[in-house]
């Protein structure tokens, strides 16, 4: 579903943020990306839907070359769901309107069809009663579930998550992780940047560990947690587990 091959990126000539990164995510696979702050996790995940350009290497999503794509980018982005740390909902739009916008503008769905789909996905994340509210009236956990629903209404072929629970109060983390666990169980292809190792142990197939712009480990979950090969991953795990 996603292949990342020999990808390098510089933010400026002196600073290489991604160093020859290669990995792949199969259809239905859940891959957790972890590593120290500043190691390039957000940058890597953003390259998958071309939110960040790369200077070398190739990224393919569902057989399409993202690195060279131009006019089809909005369509591709609509099919690659992305959930950020800070929700990024439109504050001046009601929840249901937040969920309809992309459907009508990018996918050309009618208002009625978009609304029906929006309500279906709100039900799925347990927020039907909040459809007519504004984002500011919801808790952080609820807003993040809205953000997930907003990605799902677009019928994504895969989902990217960038630290979806890091901005949440502890008591709200599980309500968001529960939705993600359900998605994973239903076979959604997912690439998830997170430090929630409980989530990784429960649903990940593979774990990627990054440090200083490099993919240092790319291992089956059992191998990663059982016996990480690199010192850097061992140190990282000893700090967060
Ligand atoms: P992580 O998500 O693992 O914390 P990031 O991908 O956000 O890492 O950042 C990796 C490095 O790139 C950091 O040193 C960060 O300061 C730098 N960086 C991120 N975004 C930009 C940008 N737009 N311009 C310049 N440097 C950036
Ligand atoms: Mg980040």
**Over the stretch 57-113, which tens digit does the pLDDT of each residue have?**
999 999 999 998 888 888 888 889 999 999 899 999 999 999 999 999 999 999 999
| Residue of 41, 43, 232 to test ligand 1 pocket, by largest number of atoms within 8 Å of CB | 43
This prediction's pTM: 0.95
Query: Is the model's pLDDT at 224 over the cut of 80?
Result: yes
- Distances, alpha carbon 142 to alpha carbons 9, 10, 25, 43, 93, in Å: 35, 36, 28, 26, 15
| Residue of 9, 10, 17 to test ligand 1 pocket, by largest number of atoms within 8 Å of CB | 17
Is residue 167 within 8 Å of residue 140, measured between CB atoms? yes
Closest ligand to 52 CA? 1
Q: How would residue 47 be classed by pLDDT, with cut points 50, 70 and 90?
A: very high
Q: Which two tokens stand for residue 177?
A: 């992780």
Which residues touch 119 (CB under 8 Å, ≥6 apart)? 96, 128, 131
Q: Which ipTM score applies to this complex?
A: 0.98
CA-closest residue to ligand 1 atom 6: 40
- Ligand 1 neighbours by CB, cut-off 6 Å: 11, 17, 35, 37-43
């Amino acid at each position: 579903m996603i292949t990342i091959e020999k990808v390098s990126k510089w933010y400026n000539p002196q600073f290489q943020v991604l160093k020859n990164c290669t990995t792949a995510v199969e259809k239905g696979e859940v891959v957790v990306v972890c590593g120290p702050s500043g190691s390039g996790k957000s940058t890597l995940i953003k390259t998958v839907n071309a939110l960040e350009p790369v200077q070398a290497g190739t990224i393919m999503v569902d057989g399409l070359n993202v690195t060279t794509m131009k006019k089809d980018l909005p369509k591709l982005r609509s099919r690659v769901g992305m959930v950020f740390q800070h929700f990024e909902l439109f504050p001046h739009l009601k929840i249901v309107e937040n969920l309809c916008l992309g459907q009508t503008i990018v996918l050309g769905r009618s208002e009625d069809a978009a609304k029906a789909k929006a309500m279906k996905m709100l039900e799925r994340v347990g927020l039907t009663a909040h459809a007519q509210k504004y984002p500011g009236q919801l808790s952080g956990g609820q807003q993040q579930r809205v953000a997930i629903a907003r990605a799902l209404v677009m019928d994504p072929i895969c989902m990217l998550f960038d630290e979806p629970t890091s901005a949440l109060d502890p008591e709200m983390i599980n309500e968001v992780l529960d939705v993600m666990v359900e998605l994973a169980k239903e076979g959604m292809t997912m690439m998830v940047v997170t430090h929630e190792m409980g989530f990784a142990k429960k649903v990940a197939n593979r774990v990627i560990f990054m440090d200083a712009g490099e993919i240092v480990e790319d291992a089956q979950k059992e191998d990663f947690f059982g016996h990480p090969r690199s010192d850097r991953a061992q140190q990282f795990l000893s700090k967060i587990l």
